[in-house]
Chains A and B, each alone.
Chain A
């Protein structure tokens, strides 16, 4: 391993990514190899795994024990929840949302994908694109994950043959493109043998692309912000009222999209009042320009009424405000979401009362068909929802902005997080609504 200085290390960028895979496609092995080969599994952790494996009468260390952190998970040998893992190379730091491939995967994968800039979808080379693969691709498309990697695993079991890989990659890419996935990178691997995960494979001369790790290290993480709508949800008003700062009044928040510059004319939503940015403090340091996802404090020319929950936007590029929200949602709670349900809706820093007016359809991820008027959404269901809010909401389309186009629904009685929402026509290519009679149900 090359020696790097502290300065070089701290200049690296951060990539958040998620893995998706079903029980037997080798996800644990891939995660284990990435962690292990990037020196993220240390001697005492490996020792603990060896000890626990031996205690269970296993000959070889069970790498799944590295990632299954809870007593119940180890006892049952399953992963019951998303876990976050960390590893680093000299080029980049990684936060991996390790989502279980168990029956409850939809909400877990939605949770992991909501903050991910990249998703790795695993496929078993012997089975090719299966129903599960299509579900994973659909969720990645729905959540607008910018980069999708198709890892065709177990190439060792198909004699490392190029035509096998090429056929799967072609079928998947066609499907994902139809869903609106902007970029697919297909990589033939064997997680078990180590082909093309960290080291280039000696068995697949025909493959000229990057290994999984190389791709993770080089995929772009910053987007072109010039064309993004700038958005700042106001989190907190900073007023020191001290002798040193008698008149300081700053609006603190994390920029959710785009860039803000000193001198920009801005509008406060939902009130609609306008003013000008006179200063930007980047955690105590004045700057002329700031961009997403920096946490900043804006100083404004006029002393107008602004509080937590308001949204600051450029006056020339304000979203429409409305009390009627239409969205695609994934229901994440055990209790169902029904028409007439009174909920709280959290969008940015604003929480408002809301009522579920209609559930027009439920999506069947297997074939992307829509089941009309399902009446309710239960855990792991994805569907279309119409919501009426008690106050106007300045929501963007999720397709334009993942941060200001997303919301959660909360049960006001006990605080449960019910539903993840994406505003607007967020699904790329929905099939026409099927007749109810055609729907033979689905069970995940």
Chain B
């Protein structure tokens, strides 16, 4: 690339030009408030990952000085990073929020779901998630998904209608025109809402830096006991690693995404501040999912297939 930093934005020196972060923030708040205005019982999917943390931050700003009129829903795989669970509980207490938990371990213990041979629990989240949506009668479910994450997600609408089985049908999506979001749905159906659709990974980090948002420590470089599987550094733990032939070593790493421990890999990194993280991402030659998610590598359409079934 040959472009250089411009000292003056030609043609955009208007005092009314918004920075890209202000424009994205304003759009996301608009989406969040539309949901508050149009739905009976919305809920925010909250994993303790940076995208859901950012989404909650935007919801807090959208309704200030009133509290957020939504509760939170965490799909607990049973293989969580302890730092992330602690962060989740701290956040819920700090803002006086209500937390719902859908537990994969419960489903396994009751014999409803079976552990997969590869130990990956990400695909198992769909059933507890969709059953919780049905039993609590949530009619709008906020997800922190971004279109830049994955090519199936690039096709996702901001308001995404799901049938009574929570299924996504990419060929029957409603066109989205201007900012006129259509939240109409039949009883039993719900709408998945993605206020961060137009954000990129870099936007998310820049906004977190600008707003000084606290994240779980695992996003910053730290020493950790890891072992290698499928070219990824996985955290050793009771969830099922390492196995025979896999050896644990101590490395300086950080996480780019937070998910189930069985399929979320760490990257070698010495970025222990947010400024260093941003510099690292700006220079990275790998997408965050490509670098750290095993479940997306299962097939060319892994994400699309999971989304069709009701995954976020």
Contacts and interface: CB of A to CB of B under 8 A. Distances in A.
A217 B173 contact: no
A407 B181 CA distance: 10
B179 A115 contact: yes
Interface string B1-20: 11111100111101011111
Contact of B62 (A218, A225, A283): A283
A13 B33 contact: no
Interface stretch (A86-94, A119-127, A184-192, A433-441): A86-94
24 contacts: A2-B5, A6-B206, A9-B278, A10-B206, A10-B207, A42-B284, A43-B286, A67-B154, A71-B304, A71-B305, A85-B148, A86-B148, A90-B4, A91-B6, A111-B176, A221-B17, A235-B33, A239-B66, A241-B66, A245-B65, A254-B29, A293-B27, A349-B34, A403-B179
B210 A10 contact: yes
Interface stretch (A21-29, A313-321, A383-391, A412-420): A412-420
Given A71-B301, A235-B30, A252-B62, A403 B178 contact: yes
Which has the most chain B C-beta neighbours within 10 Å: A52, A67, A85, A236?
A236
Contact of A254 (B14, B26, B147, B176): B26
A95 B198 contact: yes
Given A42-B284, A69-B152, A417 B65 contact: no
A83 interface: yes
A414 B285 CA distance: 45
Nearest to B10: A218
Interface in A278-298: 281, 283-284, 291-295
A400 to B, nearest CB: 15
Interface of A: 1-2, 4, 6, 8-14, 37-39, 42-45, 48, 52, 66-72, 74, 80-86, 88-93, 95, 107-108, 110-111, 114-115, 198-199, 213, 217-225, 235-236, 238-242, 244-245, 248, 252-254, 259, 281, 283-284, 291-295, 308, 332, 344, 346-347, 349, 402-403, 406-408, 410, 414-417, 420
Interface residues of B, number: 82
A85 B202 contact: no
Contact of A42 (B11, B20, B286): B286
Contact of A52 (B16, B27, B154, B300): B300
B119 interface: no
Interface stretch (B86-94, B97-105, B182-190, B217-225): B182-190
Contacts of B176: 111
Nearest to B153: A69
Interface of B: 1-6, 9-12, 14, 16-27, 29-30, 33-34, 36-37, 61-67, 147-148, 150-155, 161, 170-171, 173-180, 182, 184-186, 197-198, 200, 202-203, 206-207, 209-210, 275, 278-279, 282, 284-287, 290-291, 300-301, 304-305
Contacts of A198: 1-2
B180 A346 contact: yes
Nearest to B152: A69
Contact of A294 (B26, B178, B186): B26
A133 B182 CA distance: 31
A242 B66 CA distance: 8
Contacts, number: 258
Instruction: Report the 9 A-B pairs with minimum CB-CB distance, sorted nearest first.
Output: A415-B184, A44-B290, A69-B151, A220-B11, A222-B17, A14-B20, A240-B66, A222-B14, A295-B29
Which has the most chain A C-beta neighbours within 10 Å: B37, B151, B155, B206?
B151
A10 B197 CA distance: 18
A248 B66 CA distance: 9
Contact of A417 (B11, B152, B174, B305): B174
Contact of B64 (A2, A4, A8, A283): A283
B248 to A, nearest CB: 26
Contacts of B2: 198-199
Contacts of A9: 202, 206, 278, 282
Given A71-B301, A283-B61, A403-B179, A220 B14 contact: yes
B1 A39 contact: yes
A81 B155 contact: yes
Contacts of B153: 69
Contacts of B171: 70, 72, 80-81
Given A88-B200, A95-B198, A238 B63 contact: yes
Contacts of A86: 147-148, 198, 200
A10 B33 contact: no
Given A10-B21, A13-B12, A82-B175, 10 more contacts: A6-B275, A9-B282, A69-B151, A69-B155, A82-B155, A89-B1, A93-B203, A110-B177, A111-B177, A253-B30
Contacts of A284: 61, 64-65
Contact of A213 (B3, B22, B155, B287): B3
B300 A45 contact: no
Contacts of A414: 184, 186
